[in-house]
A = this chain, B = another copy of it.
Amino acid sequence: MLLDAAIELGAERPLAAIPVDDIVREAGVAKGTFYVHFADRSAFMVELHTRFELEMRRAVAAAVEGLSPGRDRLLTGARASLDACAAQSATKSLLLEARADPSIANAIARRNEAFAQDSTDDFAVLGVADPDVAARLFVAMVAEAALVEIELGRTDERVRSALGSFVTNTE
């Protein structure tokens, strides 16, 4: 499948630097096939990021299912994110490129608002002054944590508890 092929190649180099030629070769189909399934390269890239984003959401939602807002839910969600990132070979490219390309950034960012609401609720319960801003900063920190783990080549408890050290336990 074309999307899977791109993810495969995206483990080695930036997704943005992978030509359609390479993607179809990896997928074992002809070049024209690419355009049977996608309007253009840009639509393909958006689809790639959309899949990743939905996967992350699903993983987090499943992990925090039933937990009430607060520190524990926040950090449980963060750990689930890191697990999902670790399971995805092109995570680094996906995280670093998602916002650099405006067409992708627009397509994704718009949908993320509802998702971000969860962490905002967590910070609200923690009594933070501006929970929406705090949530956004925290998400950036989790993404960075994912990149650290990728560089280490494994999940790392030190990284994960470092995340926790930024969130004071007030409960």
Q: In the complex, which residues of chain B have a beta carbon less than 8 angstroms from the beta carbon of A161?
A: 129-130
Bound: A112/B30 CA distance, A: 44
Stretch of A21-29, A46-54, A61-69, A136-144 on the interface side: A136-144
21 contacts between A and B (CB under 8 A): A14-B102, A93-B100, A96-B99, A97-B100, A128-B162, A129-B158, A129-B162, A130-B158, A130-B159, A133-B162, A134-B162, A134-B165, A134-B166, A136-B148, A137-B141, A137-B145, A137-B162, A138-B141, A139-B144, A140-B141, A141-B141
Q: In the complex, which residues of chain B have a beta carbon less than 8 angstroms from the beta carbon of A168?
A: 168
Q: Is A18 an interface residue (CB 8 A)?
A: no
Bound: A143/B141 CA distance, A: 10
Residue among A129, A137, A148, A158 facing the most chain B CB atoms (10 A cut-off): A137
Bound: A49/B47 CA distance, A: 30
Q: When each residue 86-99 of chain A gets 1 if its CB lies under 8 Å from chain B and 0 otherwise, what string results?
A: 00000001001101
Query: In whole Å, how far is A35's beta carbon from the nearest beta carbon of chain B?
Result: 23
Bound: A96/B143 CA distance, A: 13
**B141 touching A158, Cβ below 8 Å:** no
The A contact surface, by secondary structure, is helix
Q: Is A167 an interface residue (CB 8 A)?
A: yes
Q: Is A163 an interface residue (CB 8 A)?
A: yes
Bound: A137/B148 CA distance, A: 9
Top 10 A-B residue pairs of the complex, sorted by shortest distance between their CB atoms? A140-B144, A133-B162, A96-B100, A166-B166, A137-B141, A130-B158, A100-B100, A134-B162, A97-B100, A141-B141
Q: When each residue 45-83 of chain A gets 1 if its CB lies under 8 Å from chain B and 0 otherwise, what string results?
A: 000000000000000000000000000000000000000
